[in-house]
């Protein structure tokens, strides 16, 4: 028996654990997750805009795992790469032959001084607080800003600007709301080929934007957000994407770069310096592509195949080509779709009902298909 | 390489990262470093020659040098404020 340990019960970790359990009979698969709850993060924004009940976002991880996968609800403290053991908060030392790290990113809103009153939609609690604040908002300046790069789901801030336009239009107070998007980059959207399309959408919706604005601090009394670049923007309601970092245990285990991300081969997804023993997927890696569920999904299929092959004594030949596909909701039942990989930048199709429905379909089918590795 | 008189405080090797990755890595490094520190960024992406100098100018830092090497460019920036 080969011991396969997967850290993290998000989309990536769940797919890897299920795939290895399905394909490799000689694998003893253990997944460690600190909450035992699987959260569908793309739904946060719909909770914030009062379209979804938050219950729709969370399921027990156990129910998503194959019976052969052992689930440990515990917290990782440290990985001993020499002794091939994972040390858990409970005191357990978990030995492994193959280790997959899929522990995502953690939010660090406290790093932006004065931002305690800022809203975000990157957790269930954050989305609920924003929902309640939006419901009471009488009109004024809503500012969306980014507290640190990289952050999860690069399109999300721009998508939220469009959904604010839709939300306030439906409430009948759009003319009383000034939506101002502060982009951390020199354009409104991270992907260069998609940015002109998003800029046109912003112009059509009268969403204001400022580029090269990286939030540095907030004065909650004056209601002003200040940037690293020396600019200041007043607000009545502030939405700030919190700074993101990798999991603390990875840093404590000497597995990360200066930014807290795990140096990972972008094709094999092996952790550099630990080839053949440790893999990393999803938000946890330093791979320069979108930190997003779709990325973790496609990476997990590659790692699941390769770890299963190694358990069976075969060569790990699957390679990740950088494939990412995602849909963005632009409000008013319109959306755009993006598909790209390492070699092919996205070619954005026009705004259409079709891509909005694509997003609706993915949201509806997620629980049935994705974590169970059926797609 | 960097002029001998400039002491690089932090090297950010963003080769292999595509636009806007190198700029994002630079912004992250500027957040973490102190005023007066010198950051060198390696980028193999041609877009960096546009967006890195633009951002450095807007943010009020000093672009000390841009040097071409085999397959990548080196940007040397001093954090001014």
Q: What's the CATH number where A133 sits?
A: 3.50.50.60
Q: How many domains is chain A partitioned into structurally? A: 2
Residues 6+ apart with CB under 8 A from A293: A10, A11, A41, A42, A153
Q: Where are the alpha helices (DSSP H) in chain A?
A: 11-23, 44-48, 61-64, 124-136, 156-171, 195-205, 248-252, 293-311, 353-369
- Cβ contacts of B25 on chain A, cutoff 8 Å: 259
Identify whether the C-beta of residue A188 lies closer than 8 Å to the C-beta of residue A197.
no
Q: Is residue A13 part of a domain?
A: yes
Q: Is residue A339 part of a domain?
A: no
> Do A42 and A143 lie in a common domain?
no
Note the pLDDT tens digit of each residue in A193-227. 889 999 999 999 999 999 999 999 999 999 999 99
> Do A115 and A204 lie in a common domain?
yes
Answer yes or no: is pLDDT of B2 > 70: no
> Do A177 and A255 lie in a common domain?
no
Q: Is residue A331 part of a domain?
A: no
> Do A169 and A98 lie in a common domain?
no
Annotated active-site residue B5? The verdict is no
**Residue A100's pLDDT is what?**
98
Best of B10, B24, B60 to substitute, by most chain A Cβ atoms within 10 angstroms, is B24
Answer yes or no: is pLDDT of B3 > 60: no
Q: Is residue A223 part of a domain?
A: yes
Comparison of pLDDT for B16 and A104, the residue scoring more: A104
Q: Where are the alpha helices (DSSP H) in A227-369?
A: 248-252, 293-311, 353-369
> Do A207 and A226 lie in a common domain?
yes
Residue at which a domain ends, from A319, A337, A365? A319
By C-alpha distance, the chain B residue nearest A264 is B16
Q: Average pLDDT of A296-317?
A: 97
Q: Which of A57-61, A81-85, A254-258, B54-58 has the lowest mean pLDDT?
A: A254-258
**Residue B16's pLDDT is what?**
72
Q: Is residue A367 part of a domain?
A: no
State the residue range of the domain holding A162.
109-243
Q: Is residue A154 part of a domain?
A: yes
- Summary mean pLDDT of chain A: 95
Q: Is residue A338 part of a domain?
A: no
> Do A131 and A76 lie in a common domain?
no
Q: What tokens does A220 get? A: 């909650």
- Whether pTM > 0.90 for this model: the answer is yes
> Do A132 and A82 lie in a common domain?
no
**Residue B19's pLDDT is what?**
72
> Do A121 and A231 lie in a common domain?
yes
> Do A237 and A117 lie in a common domain?
yes
Tell me how crowded residue A194 is: count the other CB atoms within 10 A of its CB: 23
Q: Does A185 touch chain B (CB under 8 A)?
A: yes
> Do A121 and A164 lie in a common domain?
yes
> Do A78 and A160 lie in a common domain?
no
**Residue A17's pLDDT is what?**
98
Q: What is the percent of chain B with per-residue pLDDT over 90, rounded to a whole number? A: 64
Q: Does A212 touch chain B (CB under 8 A)?
A: yes
Q: Is residue A363 part of a domain?
A: no
Residue at which a domain ends, from A319, A345, A363? A319
**Residue A117's pLDDT is what?**
93
Answer yes or no: is pLDDT of A372 > 90: no
**Residue B4's pLDDT is what?**
53
Q: Average pLDDT of A325-330?
A: 92
Q: Average pLDDT of B10-35?
A: 86
Identify whether the C-beta of residue A278 lies closer than 8 Å to the C-beta of residue A270.
yes
Residue at which a domain ends, from A243, A264, A290? A243
Note the pLDDT tens digit of each residue in A218-265. 999 999 999 999 999 999 999 999 999 999 999 999 999 877 899 999
> Do A235 and A263 lie in a common domain?
no
Q: Does A258 touch chain B (CB under 8 A)?
A: yes
Note the pLDDT tens digit of each residue in B24-44. 889 989 988 999 999 999 998
Confidence band of B20 (pLDDT split at 50, 70, 90): confident
Return the bridge partners of A38, or none.
A59
């Amino acid at each position: 028996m080969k011991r396969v340990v997967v850290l993290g019960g998000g989309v990536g970790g769940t797919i890897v654990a299920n795939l290895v359990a399905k394909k490799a009979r000689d694998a003893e698969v253990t997944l460690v997750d600190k909450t035992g709850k699987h959260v569908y993060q793309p739904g946060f924004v719909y909770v914030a805009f009062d379209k979804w009940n938050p219950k729709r976002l969370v399921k027990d991880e156990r129910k998503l795992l194959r019976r052969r996968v052992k689930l440990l609800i515990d917290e990782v403290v440290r990985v001993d790469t020499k002794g091939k053991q994972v040390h858990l908060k409970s005191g357990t030392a978990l030995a492994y032959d193959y280790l997959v790290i899929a522990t995502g990113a953690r939010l660090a809103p406290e790093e932006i001084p004065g931002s305690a009153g800022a809203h975000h939609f990157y957790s269930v609690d954050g989305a609920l607080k924003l929902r309640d604040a939006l419901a009471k908002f009488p009109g004024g300046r809503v500012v969306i800003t980014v507290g640190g790069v990289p952050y999860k789901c690069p399109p999300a801030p721009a998508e939220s600007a469009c959904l604010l336009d839709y939300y306030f239009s439906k409430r009948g107070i759009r003319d009383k709301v000034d939506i101002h998007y502060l982009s951390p980059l020199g354009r409104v959207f991270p992907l260069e080929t998609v940015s002109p399309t998003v800029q046109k959408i912003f112009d059509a919706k009268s969403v204001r934007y400022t580029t090269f604005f990286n939030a540095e601090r907030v004065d909650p009394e004056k209601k002003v957000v200040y940037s690293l670049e020396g600019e200041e923007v007043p607000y009545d309601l502030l939405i700030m994407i919190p700074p993101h970092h990798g999991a603390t245990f990875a840093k404590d285990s000497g597995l990360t770069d200066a930014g807290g991300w795990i140096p990972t081969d972008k094709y094999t997804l092996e952790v550099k310096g630990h080839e053949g023993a440790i893999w990393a997927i999803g938000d946890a890696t330093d791979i320069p592509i979108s930190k997003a569920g779709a990325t973790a999904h496609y990476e997990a299929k590659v790692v699941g195949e390769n770890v299963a092959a190694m358990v069976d004594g075969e060569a790990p030949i699957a390679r990740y080509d950088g494939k990412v596909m995602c849909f963005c909701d632009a409000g008013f039942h319109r959306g755009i779709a993006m598909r790209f990989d390492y070699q092919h930048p996205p070619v954005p199709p026009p705004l259409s009902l079709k891509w909005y429905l694509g997003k609706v379909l993915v949201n509806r089918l997620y629980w049935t298909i994705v974590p169970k590795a059926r797609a | 390489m960097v002029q001998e008189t400039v002491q690089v405080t932090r090297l950010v090797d963003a080769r292999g990262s595509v636009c806007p990755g190198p700029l994002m890595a630079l912004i992250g490094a500027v957040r973490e470093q102190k005023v007066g520190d010198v950051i060198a960024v390696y980028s193999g992406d041609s877009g960096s020659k546009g967006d890195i100098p633009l951002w450095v100018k807007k943010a009020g830092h000093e672009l000390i040098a841009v040097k071409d090497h085999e397959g990548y460019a080196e940007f040397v920036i001093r954090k001014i404020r």
